[in-house]
Amino acid sequence: MKVVVQRVNCAQVSVNEKLISKIDNGLLLLVGFTEGDGKKQIEYMARKIARLRIFEDDLGLLNLSINDVSGKILSISQFTVYGDVIKSNRPSFTKALNYDLANQLYLEFNQILRKEYNLEVLEGVFGEHMDVSLVNSGPVTIIIEKE
């Protein structure tokens, strides 16, 4: 499992020019899954993201978590984080998990963030072509991977 975490001032996702979800202060997550991913990986990733201290405190230090700042999460499924361009300039996506299993893990991951960490999580539309826009704060971007 791989997640690109971006601290944002705002982010939104649209499908066919229709706004699906929008957040202000919080995190934009680009979430991808690979073969072998399961409950262990999504539980680890949810815990890591909920506790990740990438928001500034009063001294300007990255000491606060998403809960500390009452932030929201916009979670976007993104199989392309497993795009491999080592052998070619055209990405290969053979490392990305198949549609049905990835969708199931994506939904479970978002539920864990909501239920176990009391986070407000908005989503894109799994498997759809989405237009995602954001204002990255900092910029702060962290890539987390759990094999």
State pLDDT tens for residues 52-88. Answer: 999 999 999 999 999 999 999 999 999 999 999 999 9
Torsion of CA 132, 130, 111, 118, to 10 degrees: 20
**DSSP code per residue over 68-115:** TTT-EEEEEE-GGGG-B-SS-SSPB-TTBPPHHHHHHHHHHHHHHHHH
The answer for residues whose C-beta is within 8 angstroms of residue 34's C-beta and 6 or more apart is 1, 2, 82, 95, 96, 97
Q: What is the pTM of this model?
A: 0.94
Q: What is the pLDDT of residue 147?
A: 80
Distance CA 43, CA 52 (A): 14
Q: What is the pLDDT of residue 146?
A: 85
Give the amino acid at 104. Answer: Q
Q: How many angstroms separate the first and last alpha carbons of the chain?
A: 6
Using omega within 30 degrees of 0 as the cis cutoff, is the peptide bond preceding 139 cis? Answer: yes
Torsion of CA 78, 44, 106, 137, to 10 degrees: -50
What residue ranges define each of the domains in the chain, with the CATH number in brackets?
2-145 (3.50.80.10)
Q: What is the pLDDT of residues 10-57, one digit of tens each?
A: 999 999 999 999 999 999 999 999 999 999 999 999 999 999 999 999
